[in-house]
Amino acid sequence: MSNDKHSTETILASGLGFMDEQHLGVIPGIFPSTTYERSADNSYEHGKIYTRDHNPNYEQPEQVLAALEKGHSAMLFSSGMSAATCVFMALKPGDHAVVPKVIYWSFRNWLLNFATDWGIETTFVDNGDLDALRAAIRPGQTKLLWIETPANPTWQIEDIGAWAEIAHSIGARLAVDNTIATPLLCNPITLGADIVMHSATKYLNGHSDVLAGALICKTDDQHWQKMRSIRAAGGAVLGPFEAWLLMRGMRTLAVRVKQASANALAFAQAMEQLPQVAEVLYPGLVSFKGHKLAAKQMHGGFGGMLSIRIKGGENAAIKVAANLQLIKRATSLGGVESLVEHRASVEGPDTPCPVDLLRISIGIEHVDDLIADMQRALET
């Protein structure tokens, strides 16, 4: 295999040099076998026994992800949610976690409902409020801090280094959902995080055709081994076809994220000029509250996600979404095509999301076409 000290772009494009060794094909094959033969001496020659935790198609994306995030190792999961929930399932009843209020909505819901029922309590603090985090700490009981930055769908920025320092001062771990920034723009482990999580469904795969998740650890410790055994026992693993497709998508991550970031910045700047737009939420804008912190801990761009708040409130926002032609009305993000969503409609009555907010996942189309589509929708 080639050297994982290469730059991110090279690790992605070369896929760390994995090949179809049998035929010398430059792309590895797909290995659907669920089970592996024992040798006559009763051992497993290649260490693979059964596909619930062993499949050759996991190896390349896991090694690439570990190299990209500068971690010790990585694990693929069948979804981002199965990766995120695994981190909490490895805690014990009575353990306590602290999490900002605005994070990926389905995960906040899971913490409020399932995790609480299983004896793991979470305190939610205002995003960006380190004093509230310090006040929420329960010495001896707080075992995990979890952040998402930029945070969906308002894109508030958390200070990864500051959260890590607080976590480590009480013997807790910091986990970071890095889905939105991607490993291209931010590497939480280098800033002090212990665990990185991705919904690989989004930018990593990038083509809106695979559901997948991943965890990456800084060190191979007891918590990581417990998560490994939870995955092996529960079977929330990716199928070999999906793992192969994910790797195919990841090969172009660098060019996709750079283009989406450049488009998003130009789109956000254009939106700031429009009279129908009350506010543009994008970490790349100098006017954005967390811009300085984002510029400090992200590199090479601010990502492809932004939100706009529409003058005239909820109905006006829904109407603007209805008027769009190029930008599709759909949930999810991180694909090559641009998507828009009225988040409050999805999140329901107790959402912290403003009702006049449209979330936009900017793709890699020509940005002039995206701006023209939105301008026309706002004027209709």
Ligand X SMILES: *Cc1c(COP(=O)(O)O)cnc(C)c1O
Where in the sequence numbering do the catalytic residues fall?
52, 104, 177, 202
Assess 79 for contact with ligand X (CB under 6 A): yes
Region of 73-81, 138-146, 166-174, 288-296 interacting with ligand X (CB under 6 A): 73-81
Q: What is the distance between the alpha carbons of residues 152 and 352, in angstroms, rounded to a whole number?
A: 11
**Residue 63 interacts with ligand X (CB under 6 A)?**
no
User: How many chain residues bind ligand X (CB under 6 A)?
Assistant: 17
Query: Minimum distance between the CB of residue 262 and ligand X, rounded to whole angstroms?
Result: 21
Query: Does residue 312 come out as left (phi exceeding 0), alpha (psi in the -120 to 50 range) or beta?
Result: left
- Report the alpha-carbon distance of residue 321 to residue 370 in Å, rounded: 13
Answer whether 198's CB lies under 8 Å from 189's CB: no
The structure tokens listed for 17 are 């040099």
Output 277 or 357, the one with its CB closest to ligand X. 357
Write each residue from 124 to 163 as x if it is in contact with ligand X (CB under 6 A), else as -, in one continuous string: ------------------------x---x-----------
| Structural tokens at position 114 | 């399932």
Specify the 3-state DSSP secondary structure of 347. Answer: helix
As measured in angstroms, the least distance from the Cβ of 58 to ligand X is 16
Chain positions 329 to 358 lying near ligand X, rule: CB under 6 A, are 333
* Residue among 75, 181, 211, 270 that touches ligand X (CB under 6 A): 211
Q: Does 254 bind ligand X (CB under 6 A)?
A: no
Residue 181 or 270 having the CB closest to ligand X: 181
Q: x/- string (CB under 6 A) for ligand X, residues 299-318?
A: --------------------
Evaluate whether 108 touches 84 at the Cβ level (below 8 Å). Answer: no
Task: Give the integer Cα–Cα distance in Å for 31 and 60.
Answer: 13
Q: Which residue is nearest to ligand X (CB)?
A: 80
Q: Does 192 bind ligand X (CB under 6 A)?
A: no
Q: Which stretch binds ligand X (CB under 6 A): 177-185, 224-232, 306-314, 371-379?
A: 177-185
78, 52, 361, 31: which is closest to 211 by C-alpha? 78
Calculate the CA dihedral of residues 144, 232, 68, 191 and round it to 10 degrees.
10
Of 253, 191, 173, 183, give the one whose Cα is nearest residue 214.
183
Contact 313, 355 (CB under 8 A): yes
CB atoms within 10 A of CB 366: 9
- Binding test (CB under 6 A) with ligand X, winner from 8, 199, 205, 338: 199
Q: Give the Cα separation of 166 and 176 in Å (integer).
A: 14
Which CB sits closer to ligand X, 172 or 236?
Answer: 236
User: Considering the rule CB under 6 A, would residue 81 count as an interface residue with ligand X?
Assistant: yes
**Nearest Cα to Cα of residue 183 among 163, 203, 167:** 203
Q: Which stretch binds ligand X (CB under 6 A): 9-17, 162-170, 194-202, 267-275?
A: 194-202
223 interacts with ligand X by CB under 6 A:
no
The footprint of ligand X (CB under 6 A) covers 79-81, 84, 104, 107, 148, 152, 177, 179-180, 199, 201-202, 211, 213, 333
